[in-house]
Structure 1
């Protein structure tokens, strides 16, 4: 908000966003002021702000002056992320594209097994070795940075909005962990990537899904 009157401060300036029934009051400011308004849309997809007004009740509520902002603002609302644990564990039983529990060298500890010739010394489990008098090594999960491809049609959830929310959560969580994520949805295929633009592209695709 900018007050162009250099020698006269602004009083009781209110911003009204009728599209979302939001109101915010600037009691007093000189020159320029900034505030952040939180908007909570009730559905995903492309949303617009059409009814934005600036109003003032100064002086002393005797009258109200108002002006409509003659501009339409558009933005995309992504699906609400919802954690669905089954997406991570379902693949332990089925050979799907979300598999992350294979043995490897750099991930979480899966089990302890007998030493196999050629296993690096750093993976020897010394505590287990001392208890059993046999050389034991750590069996770790495979690197979680292996690319993941999510096939929308193969996610077994009957309710569309829940499926979109679960996949949104999965994309955000995987990319946060450094896992490249790809997506198959309808007739489109997005190769796994970790870039910010790629993440926005995937979330936008989910937001606009019909």
Structure 2
């Protein structure tokens, strides 16, 4: 319980009147002091009841990155039998949000903007619910348990992305389709030797002095295995950040990506669940 400035003045006035009543023996002052104490007691009970019966549920998004602002959804429940709760402020891990009124059995939702500085497993601390209700003399608070765990991924840092042909793509030039043998026709070029016979364009070749071959796009990008030890960076945390960026960029672009973490190898994949698994492995690397 915290005493507000207005509450401090009220308590000081009550004490001053109480001392005056004792010194003067004035019955009117005694009645005034009694009324002020009764008012203080009544508001105290109402404030105590206001924060009873509250419960909090929280929801974090699937992807939480270190050092990045993240919205945390919170839902406040009021299980009291009769009374609603007023002017409730909920604080979780340094962020806070307010609820004007939470009626019984009608949960109210809000959101917090949080940032977690360190990667790895995270257990959210208990939340606190406070309220100055009813007259802002005292701010009463109670602890609300939060049963929410998540994994904070490393902060992604941009790095030139290796293209299917092995050349980096910094995102500044247009993407070039990878050559393949089963995709769509990309262009016609001269025969260089080694191309399969099925790719020779016989009709065009008959009109030219050299054979012409069809160049087709690849039906799928080649799988890529990211070796954490080979990723550039001044330290482990920077390499993990670069790796996080590469995993997101490549998998979202449809390219299968795997990881090599020391002696451990995770085979390439291109699904969202596989991407989250790779990010989790990067977040937990070196934490055990």
Superposed CA RMSD in Å reads 3.6
| Structure 2: distance between partners of 1:72 and 1:118 | 62
On the 8 A contact 2:127/2:144 being kept in 1, the answer is yes
Cα shift at 1:59? 0.9
**1:190 equivalent in alignment to 2:266:** yes
- Could you tell me which residue of structure 2 aligns to residue 157 of structure 1? 233
SS in 2 for 1:50: coil
**1:60 equivalent in alignment to 2:135:** yes
Question: Given the two structures, how large is their TM-score scaled by the length of structure 1?
Answer: 0.73
Cα shift at 1:79? 0.9
- Could you tell me which residue of structure 1 aligns to residue 284 of structure 2? 208
User: Given the superposition, is the C-alpha separation of residues 150 and 104 from structure 1 closer, same or farther in structure 2, using an over 3 Å criterion?
Assistant: same
**1:46 equivalent in alignment to 2:126:** no
Whose RCO is larger (CA < 8 A, sep 6+)? 1
**1:79 equivalent in alignment to 2:166:** no
| Structure 1: distance between partners of 2:158 and 2:276 | 19
User: Given the superposition, is the C-alpha separation of residues 90 and 145 from structure 1 closer, same or farther in structure 2, using an over 3 Å criterion?
Assistant: closer
Cα shift at 1:48? 2.8
- Could you tell me which residue of structure 1 aligns to residue 98 of structure 2? 25
Equivalent of 1:118 in 186, 191, 198? 198
Question: Given the two structures, how large is their TM-score scaled by the length of structure 2?
Answer: 0.55
- Could you tell me which residue of structure 2 aligns to residue 179 of structure 1? 255
| Structure 2: distance between partners of 1:147 and 1:90 | 11
| Structure 1: distance between partners of 2:259 and 2:100 | 48
On the 8 A contact 1:92/1:101 being kept in 2, the answer is no
SS in 2 for 1:91: coil
Higher-Rg structure is: 2
Cα shift at 1:158? 2.7
- The number of equivalent residue pairs is 194
- Could you tell me which residue of structure 2 aligns to residue 34 of structure 1? 109
Structure 2 residue runs of 5 or longer lacking an equivalent are 1-75, 169-175, 202-207
User: Given the superposition, is the C-alpha separation of residues 118 and 4 from structure 1 closer, same or farther in structure 2, using an over 3 Å criterion?
Assistant: same
- Could you tell me which residue of structure 2 aligns to residue 13 of structure 1? 88
Flag the structure with higher helix content: 2
User: Given the superposition, is the C-alpha separation of residues 175 and 89 from structure 1 closer, same or farther in structure 2, using an over 3 Å criterion?
Assistant: closer
User: Given the superposition, is the C-alpha separation of residues 108 and 91 from structure 1 closer, same or farther in structure 2, using an over 3 Å criterion?
Assistant: farther
SS in 2 for 1:60: coil
Structure 1 residue runs of 5 or longer lacking an equivalent are 94-99, 122-131
Deviates more, 1:56-65 or 1:83-92: 83-92
